[in-house]
Structure 1
Amino acid sequence: MVNFLVKIFFALSLSIIFSHNISANNLQLKGELTQGGIVVGFYENAKKVFLDKKNVAVSDRGYFFLGFSRKHKKTALLKIFDNNNNVYSQELHIKSRKYHTQRIDGLPKKKVQPGPKELKKIKADYKILKDALRKKAKINIFPEKFLMPVKGRISGVYGSQRILNGIKKNPHMGLDIAAPIGTPIQSTTPGKVLLAVNDLFYTGNTIIIDHGYELKSIYIHLDKIYVQENDLVKEGQEIGTVGMTGRATGPHLHWGIYWKNTKVDPNLLLLLK
């Protein structure tokens, strides 16, 4: 009799648990689940979304971004709560990537081995960038289309290990696009300008734009800047021109993409069209 009651209780418990689960068929993911990847997710009636226990911004229509670091572990846990607090969980399998090594010579010594004066400037610049990236603009429209910000030759890719003047440095965390000085640069998608600043030690003339839902873009080494902080920009709007300010051996745009504090591959963002 006791065993029978235990079985009945267990069966009822399972029915209660599973009645609060929501269907995997409602989940849509667009993009590559890979290291450095950026993915658009959709779950109708999604109220809250978490990736590896971190809160993810979700639109009223149920759209959200998921980003993965250069060396993300093999799995990630996605958890979604709907308007009725039903929950759906899924383990995402993250594909590993191999990255190339890129050697760049001919940089000024102080740009690779900075002295005390340069280190003071670098520290101040880092704070400027960090403070800008902490800001959040209130943007209600979820980005749906992404443009290459400038026409040119790809001269550097995301994730590559950089060897500068023979010295191993941090990996390259964006996309370099070589083009003549003065070539127009456009905003990849609509947003609000968080930073428009000149003469940073490494990045030179720099723009950061918030596109909402924890997605930001950065444009580095510019010659001219045509926008100001708090400006609202449209998709394809000209925001500046290609230059070689900061640490650069030739004219090019360094274009970077952030999801939260994670630097993701801009090339993979373009695949989300």
Structure 2
Amino acid sequence: MMLVAAAPALEIPLSGALSQGGAATGSAPKGTASLTLDGKSVPVAADGRFLIAFDRDAGPDARLVARLADGRTVERAIKVAPRDWRIERINAPLRPVKSSEAFLDLRRPELARIAAARGKVTDAAGWRQTFIWPRQGRISGLFGSQRIYQGQPGAYHGGVDVAGATGDPVVAPADGVVILAADKPFTLEGHLLMVDHGMGLNSAFLHLSRIDVKEGDHVSQGQVIGAIGATGRATGPHLHWGMKWNDARIDPMLVAGAMAAG
């Protein structure tokens, strides 16, 4: 009697930070026609590689589903590890900020430009790389930190701040395409530069003193793209580096790893 070896079970391997604010890359099973994370489409490259990430406030469970061309499905349950955020409790009420019509007249088109930039799809492949820090320096603000005012949460910090001096160069953390380069300072972000790394992943660099690239430029990892400043709403010169994957705000420190000493 001839024994027939059973076909190997299909899997969806992942590598990266499976946690709140984290990102991971993976390989879709051969023959995958579509991939979803919690019902939302995830693009898959020609070689089967893909990227997923989890918002700062992501729940504890997520599910990847690959639908194969032959009709089969392959699923992977993901446990999203919680994070301990730096929370400061303030014994005072949260005072809502009332924006003037003049401010809103300036702010609405800025928000529209940011949304339009994040909606752009480019051929960038930086998402495949090991990211580097755009600037070496003291971490002066952590992603996810938040103040609670008498039980009412304020907005959390959506990026990592790196202290520096005005004019210190900022480099591209990975290859990408410039999707926004503010020709004049935005009201809050100041000179704002945004770079798409592909697969829905993008970086935003705030408060720059200058921008050295223009929209549509392809930039390479390590290339100087601007300089630290204090433009917009900033109390002093520093780099604010924010990252998003689609609608999820993620922690650049988990993407770039610990900053090298020196």
Normalised-by-shorter TM-score class: 0.7 to 0.9
Q: Is 1:242 equivalent to 2:228 in the alignment?
A: yes
Show the counterpart of 2:93: none
Once the two structures are superposed, residues 68-117 of structure 1 have per-residue CA deviations (whole angstroms, 9 ceiling, x without a partner) of: 111111100111234544321011111112211369xxxxxxxx654332
Identity %: 33
Show the counterpart of 1:156: 141
1:1-273 matches, cutoff 5 A: 22-24=9-11, 27-45=12-30, 46-82=32-68, 84-101=70-87, 114-139=99-124, 143-162=128-147, 169-197=154-182, 198-271=184-257
- Partners of 1:219 and 1:255 within 8 A in 2: yes
CA–CA separation in structure 1 for the residues paired with 2:67 and 2:145: 37
Structure 1's unaligned 5+ residue stretches are 1-17, 104-111
What secondary structure, in the 3-state scheme, does the structure 1 residue paired with 2:13 have? strand
Higher helix share: 1
Q: How far has the Cα of 1:120 moved from its partner?
A: 2.1
CA–CA separation in structure 2 for the residues paired with 1:140 and 1:181: 30
Q: How far has the Cα of 1:145 moved from its partner?
A: 1.8
CA–CA separation in structure 1 for the residues paired with 2:224 and 2:37: 34
Amino acid corresponding to residue 10 of structure 2 in structure 1: S
CA–CA separation in structure 1 for the residues paired with 2:237 and 2:84: 27
CA-based RMSD of the aligned residues comes to 2.5
What secondary structure, in the 3-state scheme, does the structure 2 residue paired with 1:202 have? coil
**CA 1:83–1:92 in 2, change beyond 3 Å: closer, same or farther?**
same
Larger Rg: 1
CA–CA separation in structure 1 for the residues paired with 2:147 and 2:104: 20
CA–CA separation in structure 1 for the residues paired with 2:87 and 2:107: 25
- Partners of 1:35 and 1:69 within 8 A in 2: yes
**CA 1:142–1:69 in 2, change beyond 3 Å: closer, same or farther?**
closer
**CA 1:256–1:53 in 2, change beyond 3 Å: closer, same or farther?**
same
Amino acid corresponding to residue 117 of structure 2 in structure 1: A
CA–CA separation in structure 2 for the residues paired with 1:141 and 1:122: 30
- Partners of 1:47 and 1:62 within 8 A in 2: no
- Per the normalisation by structure 2, the TM-score is 0.84
Structure 2's unaligned 5+ residue stretches are 1-5, 90-96
Give the length in aligned residue pairs: 242
Q: How far has the Cα of 1:184 moved from its partner?
A: 0.5
- Partners of 1:70 and 1:263 within 8 A in 2: yes
Once the two structures are superposed, residues 25-50 of structure 1 have per-residue CA deviations (whole angstroms, 9 ceiling, x without a partner) of: xx321112111111111235244221
- Partners of 1:187 and 1:237 within 8 A in 2: yes
CA–CA separation in structure 2 for the residues paired with 1:89 and 1:242: 44
CA–CA separation in structure 1 for the residues paired with 2:147 and 2:188: 14
**CA 1:47–1:125 in 2, change beyond 3 Å: closer, same or farther?**
same
CA–CA separation in structure 1 for the residues paired with 2:108 and 2:47: 41
